[in-house]
Structure formats: C-alpha cells, structure tokens
Amino acid sequence: MLYFPSVFLYVQNLKFKFVITSKTGTHQLAMSSYLSLSMVLLLFIFLIPFTFLLLMKRRKQNVQAKRLPPGPRRLPVIGNLHHLSDDLPHCAFEHPSSHYGPIMFLQLGSRSTLVVSSAEMTREVFKTHDLIFSGRPEFLYVAKRLSYDSSVSFSPIGKYWREVRKIVILELLSAKRIQMFRSVRDEEVGHMIDDIAHTSNGLINLNELTHFLSNRVLCRSAFGKKYDGAGGVISKNRIFELLEEAMNLLGGFCISDFLPWMGWLNKFNGLEKRVDKCFKGLDSFYDKVIEEHLDPKRPTPEHEDLVDVLLRVQKDPSQAIALTNDQIKGVITDIFIAGTDTSSATVVWTMAELIRNPLVMRNAQDEVRGVVKAQGKVEESDLSELMYLKLVIKESFRLHPPVPSLVPRVTTESCTIEGYEIPAKTMVFILAKMIGRDPKCWENPNEFFPERFLDSSIDYKGNHFELLPFGAGRRGCPGMNFAMQLVELTLANLLYRFDWELPDGMKREDLNMEEAAGITVQNKVPLYLAATPVHL
C-alpha cells in the first residue's frame, strides 16, 4: 500500500504549530514563540517544492513498478489524441513509431493503446500471446451499431464468437463452398471484360468497375441474385451509397470511442444521424433479402447461397447456439461490407503499381498470355500456373495492405512483452503497412519489385509476420481464400484481354498514389486508365 508523508500547519491558541505524519506516527512541533506571517510564508515556500519532490519520487517508483512501453508525452484528459489529427490513423501512428520504436504506448483519451510496427513484435502478439490479444474493442460506436453487435469481425472472444466463426469457416467459406460459386465469379468477370471492351472512349474508372464487380459477386454468392436495380429490392446507386457510407463511417473518427463522457457530441455533430440512416438502409435491405429467402413460393436454387445456409443453421436444433435474425444480419454485414472493398482495393492498387512499372506489367502480361494462349479468357483452372502474377499480388499486398493497421484488437488480460507490461483492456493496432516497408525486413522497401519473392517462402496467409494483409492467429480474416480467387481471376483477365495506358498527356510520375480515409484504404483519386483490346 502506498504511503505519502504529509505536513500540516495550523493555529492553536494563536500559536503556529507543525504536525508531521509518517509511518512511525504523528509528531507535533510546538513553536515556543509566535511566528510572523512572513516567516510562515517562507516556510510554505520551502515546503511546497519539498512536497513536490516527494510526489515525483513516488510517481517515478510507480512507473518503474509498472513499466509501460515508450511513447510520446500525454496531455491532460486527451492523452495522445492530438496525434490522430491525420485523416489516416496508420499514417498518424507511423511518425511517432519510427521515433519510439516497434512497440509504442499511447493514451488515447481514456483508452490505453499499443501500436506494434515490426515483424518481431507482431510475432509476440500473434503467436506467443495470441489468445490474450484476441479481444475486440466493444466500445467502438459505429462498429457496434452497424455490425448488430454480433458480427464475427467485432464480437468479443467467447462462446458466441467461436460458434459463429466455426459456422462461417465450415459452412460459408469452406473450399467446397468457394468452388461452388466458381461459375458466378467466371460470369461476372466476363461481364466486366465485356463492359470494358464496349466502352466508347476506352477510358475506364477502375475503382468503380472493380467495386461493382465485387459487389455483384458477393450479392449472387450471399443472396442468390444481383441487386443492381434490375427488378431487385434496391437500386445499384443506393446500394453503392450505403456501402460507401458504411466504410466511411467505420473508418472515421468518433470522439466518444476515446472519451465516452463526450458521447452526447454524436447527436450534435451529425454522426448519430448518419449512422442511424445507414443502419436503417442496410437493415431494410437485409430484411427484404431474408423475407425473399423465406418465401415458400421462391424457386429452389441450384446451390444454397450464404443466406440459405444461415437460415438452415438457424433452424438446426443440434447447433450450439440459436441464431437470431439480427445475428444473421451481423454475419451478412461482415461478408457484404468487408468483402466488397478489400477485393476492389487490391485490384486497383495492383493495377496502379503495374502502370507505374511497365516492365513488370509486360512480364505479367507475357505470362498470362503464354499460359492461356488463344482460348479467349482466363479460367480459374489457369490460375495455378500464373506464378509471376502471384508474386505481383504479394508485392502489392506488401506496399498496399487493404487495412493498413488491421482491425484493432484488445488485450483480454495483462501480459509482458520485451520486459514491458501491457495492461488488460489495451487497444492494439498492428501497422501492417509500416511492417511491409520496414528496411530491416525488405531490401529497397519502397520499390515495387515482385522478383523479391522468387526465392522466398514468405506468403500472406498469416504464417510470416513480415506480410500480414489478412492478419494472423485466431482473428485472421476467414474470407481470405474467397477474396483471393476473385482478385487473381480479375487481374489475370484484365492483363490478358487489354493493354493498359495512362490517359493522354499523363505521365507515370503524375499518377496520384494518395490514400483515402476509410477502414479499407482505397486510392484518394480514382484510377482512370485507357484500355486497348488485344486480339489473340
């Protein structure tokens, strides 16, 4: 138990006395003569710095007893929140991390926060202490609402999370289920290629094109049909708006996440209204999708889609948990929102890097055209032979991970890393982008050079901590294989069917590579490229 010596001055019978308390008891010093007020003030002047030094010594002992990782000085109340002035949190973390080291402690308002920025420290988090670091922040206002507080991505570790994750992996995203939707991917990529070929001016907005492609593939896989305005329950423009708003909200800054007592600001800054509007739009869409699937007049589909599977699991009495409709919607949110933007962002960043590196582009095109020859399009069965394309995608993930600081985690109990004590309930950010550009791991880290992986066993599946676009451990992304099939098939067909150039008058060095704010980082300025069909 801590004990602070104290000194009190009081007046008794017009005589000044000092009382000093200590561990050994209370001692009273009576002054034999009256003290003048000036002398009393002088004594106070002496005692104030003395007391201050005692308090500082005690504070230093407390810090030594609980040794936190290094970090910048904290301001009263807000702590280090002023470091988040950048629109992109991972960028805001990068500068202080380069100064304070690969494991940095911040106090973001009332939230203790750990920022990890090296492969070695990430190994400690994901391998040595994975269970402890597998919590999720339950206080994130937007994520809690839009995920129905029950999604796989944001649910805390526990029985519900374990059971739903098992359902997702075994029933929704298994190799068999992914293969089942092969024809969907093939057909939708074919439609995209036709759209490019029939564009009158040959100038393509790849952001919009790939986002629409990902959305259509996910809608058909998850809901059994497209919802693009052609008789669907929601128009193409509306669903795009909902998705874009959801991603912007999830990637934005909410003051009440860090200073809970300021939650009332959400009503006045418009955030609560935006979240409610987005939630109600998505919720209405989900309700109509579920209603359609429960309609007894609905034709029997050739294959169960993901909503069919969830509704079947809901009715299965042998399941360890009974899914509610809201919990089904939470799982849909994971697939519908997370799956669309990540695949689209990966394709666009890869094409941007290829257009900036024409030799790499030519090597990738030569490979795919040599493998596929004149068969007209790339099939999924061809992908296993496209080894150079796989290197290109790895290099794109290294420089442009879709979620640069990964989804934040929370420690479930305290632990020690490298001699530092990490308190329980500490929010944790892993800077995947900074690790991907760490000169200790990579030679010429800012250069786009796929050949660096030729003699390397490093992959992106969570086994190597230098490259973590999908995270690792218990909280690794379960949709990785689903996403990669679409990314590889899309890129292979874009490279096979077209030659790509920048718009007239634009130079490679003029290409804007700035990042936009959001939980999934897209390029800030949409990528427009000129496509010339190639007849093989």
**Where is the binding site for heme, in residues?**
477
**CA–CA distance, 363 with 372 (Å, rounded to integer):** 14
Tokens encoding 259: 């200073």
Residue with tokens 């500068």: 95
- Name the 3-class secondary structure at 10: strand
Sheet strand arrangement including 498-501: 203-205, 528-533, 498-501
What is the DSSP code string of 45-97? HHHHHHHHHHHHHHHHHHHHHS-PPP-PPPBTTTBTGGGGGSSSHHHHHHHHH
* CB 83 within 8 Å of CB 72: yes
Report the distance separating Cα 122 and Cα 460, nearest Å: 14
Asked if 405 and 89 touch (Cβ cutoff 8 Å), the reply is yes
Tokens 């292979």: give the residue. 492
In degrees to the nearest 10, what's the CA dihedral of 165, 166, 167, 168? Answer: 50
Cα maximum dimension of the chain: 111
Do 58 and 4 touch, CB atoms closer than 8 A? yes
CB-side neighbour CA atoms (13 Å) of 405: 21
- The DSSP code sequence of 471-505 is --GGGS-TTHHHHHHHHHHHHHHHHHHEEEEPPTT
Question: Quick one: tokens of 364?
Answer: 């990738």
Structure token digits, residue 506 = 């634009």
Q: Which residues define the annotated binding site?
A: 477
Bridge partners of 415, per DSSP, are: 422
| Side chain identity, residue 457 | S
- The CA angle 348-351-353, to the nearest 5 degrees, is 110
How many C-beta atoms lie closer than 10 Å to residue 11's C-beta? 9
Cα angle: 514, vertex 515, 516; to 5 degrees: 125
What's the token pair of residue 76? 């009263």
- Give the integer Cα–Cα distance in Å for 338 and 347: 15
Q: Could you give the CA distance from residue 388 to residue 392 in angstroms, rounded to a whole number?
A: 6
φ, ψ (nearest 5 deg) of residue 75: -90, 155
Both structure tokens of 12 = 């008794």
Alpha carbon distance 99, 91 (integer Å): 14
Element (H, E) at 220: helix 206-223
The answer to whether the CB of 510 falls within 8 A of the CB of 411 is no
